Structure 1
Amino acid sequence: MKRNATIFKAGTTEFHRYSLPSAHDEKESFPVPEAIAEQEPQQEPQVSAAMTQHDLQQSRQEGYDDGYRTGLEAGRIQGVKEGHEQGLKQGIEEGYIQGQDQGYRDGLNAGEEELQKVLRNLDLNLQNIQQYYKTRKDELSYWLSALIEEVSRQVIRTELKLQPDMIMNIVRETLTHLPDENSQLTIHMHPEDVAQLRKARADFSNTWTLLEDDQITQGDCRIITETAEANASIEERLSACMEILRESLPEELDRSLA
């Protein structure tokens, strides 16, 4: 199949049909279209070397500026990212350390408050125990002193009955408080003591007069002379002894219960 081709140049107004020669005809030459032969080649525009150098330099500068801005923005973004990550990491570490310290202090303060609470409760309990012990000790001291006083009173009465000479000793001791023992004496005593004294000592001095007195407690006596009077009271002596005992008894109880 034979293919026809149209060859023309831009701006050509005339053309002739041209058929390719046979491949077997070596002598036939290829004719050149007149329009193509007559047309002169177009002139390429001339570019100034200085202008090209300027444009190249400007293009380079623009590329540098664009690259600088791009790199600056990328660096800023990367710096913000890295700074954020580093700041976050540092903040977490510092926050952890600060939180740990704060937690330690809070725990220490809470432990101190709890310890103080326990100590206050312990001190209150000790005060209650001491108050209870003091109350019980006072009660025990009072009970013991009352018991000793009653036992002593019974012992004294028994001894006065069993040993009448004790009554005479009471009289003689009372006489020592009088200025003149040889003056006329009147001795007031309990009736039982008078009976016991007469049995034991019948040879009283003629200057002594025994009088029974129901108002006087057994073991007591009152001696009256012309110028003086002296009293001997078992209860007073016992009370004086019990007062000393009551003062020393709490200390004795402390030592005994320690």
Structure 2
Amino acid sequence: MTSSDRRGPRQVPPPQGSNPRPAGHYTRFIPREELSGFSNWTPDAFVGLADEAEPLPTGLRRTPPAPVEPPPAAPPPNTLVGPSEEDWLQRVQDARQQGYQDGYRDGLEALDAARRQHLQQVTAQFAGLAAAFEEQMAALEQRMADAVTATALTLARQVVRSELSQRPELVRQVAQEAIGAVVLSARHLRLRLHPDDLALVAADDGELLRSREVQLQPDPGLQRGGCVVESDLGRVDARIAQRWAQAVAVFGAELPLQDDPAGAAETA
């Protein structure tokens, strides 16, 4: 650039007939023909001017500014990193192992519950069978006891019948036991017997009959082998059928001494 460039643009008079009023800079367009000593500006137009300028004294030289360090780069944002393939495989393996253990435990619990339930069912069945068996055994024992009792009573009845027919003198002992059962303060004792037994008792001159002043009275309504003692204080029933019924009642059975009900009827 020349010295004319440093003086500024040349002033051009306004055209004739225009407003004589002064105008400021850049109030009109300046044609290219009116300009001289110029050149186009480029970014490197000032390169070399600093070298042509006179150097400054040492004391006035400016220290070049220190280079500015760029700010540190911002840390990258936290990025979520997914599990790797090995992690996925390990997770799958752990899940499979955990599932196996859970299934094995649940299977054992289910098996134990089924075993307990089956054991309870079997125990209940055995308990029912045992109860039924005990009930049947009790019924069988009762039937056997009844059968044994009936057999024993039947044999005893046969023995009593045989004794009465073969040993009619036993009526004396029966009469003495009946008179001995009457209290000593009783008076007016009367002994009723079958007519056939009366002769056997009358033939005996027992001390008991004489001391108690017992009056003998025949009674055809009584069976042989038994008697009835009456007094002013009460009576003693020593009929053989009555004594037999009392003995049979101890066993909870009913077995008449005579098979014929008509023949078994006696007067009281």
- Shorter chain as denominator, the TM-score bin is 0.5 to 0.7
Paired with 1:139 and 1:192, the residues of 2 have a C-alpha distance of: 42
Structure 1 residues 181 and 100: CA distance shift in structure 2, 3 A: same
Structure 1 residues 174 and 207: CA distance shift in structure 2, 3 A: closer
Structure 1 residues 195 and 142: CA distance shift in structure 2, 3 A: farther
Matched, 1:231 2:237: yes
Q: Percent same amino acid among aligned pairs?
A: 17
Corresponding residue of 1:221: 227
Structure 1 residues 186 and 91: CA distance shift in structure 2, 3 A: same
The answer to whether the Cα contact below 8 Å between 1:164 and 1:197 also exists between their aligned partners in 2 is no
Structure 1 residues 207 and 241: CA distance shift in structure 2, 3 A: closer
Please list every run of 5 or more consecutive structure 1 residues that lacks an aligned counterpart in the other structure. Answer: 1-56, 248-258
Instruction: Give the root-mean-square deviation of aligned CA atoms.
Output: 3.7
Structure 1 residues 123 and 209: CA distance shift in structure 2, 3 A: same
Mapping of residues 27-46 of structure 1, within 5 Å: none
Paired with 2:200 and 2:151, the residues of 1 have a C-alpha distance of: 28
Larger Rg: 2
**Taking structure 2 as the reference length, what is the TM-score of the superposition?**
0.54
Paired with 1:233 and 1:157, the residues of 2 have a C-alpha distance of: 14
Please list every run of 5 or more consecutive structure 2 residues that lacks an aligned counterpart in the other structure. Answer: 1-69, 254-268
The answer to whether the Cα contact below 8 Å between 1:149 and 1:238 also exists between their aligned partners in 2 is no
Q: How many corresponding residue pairs?
A: 179
The answer to whether the Cα contact below 8 Å between 2:194 and 2:220 also exists between their aligned partners in 1 is yes
Paired with 1:127 and 1:83, the residues of 2 have a C-alpha distance of: 65
Q: Which of 145, 150, 166 in structure 2 is aligned with 1:146?
A: 150
Structure 1 residues 91 and 134: CA distance shift in structure 2, 3 A: same
The answer to whether the Cα contact below 8 Å between 1:186 and 1:208 also exists between their aligned partners in 2 is yes
Looking at both structures, which has the greater relative contact order when contacts are Cα pairs under 8 Å and sequence separation is at least 6? 1
Structure 1 residues 108 and 87: CA distance shift in structure 2, 3 A: same
Shift, 1:111, TM fit: 0.7
Q: Which of 103, 107, 114 in structure 2 is aligned with 1:103?
A: 107
Mapping of residues 1-258 of structure 1, within 5 Å: 76=81, 79-180=83-184, 184-194=188-198, 197=201, 201-203=203-205, 205=210, 207-214=214-221, 216-245=222-251
Higher helix share: 1
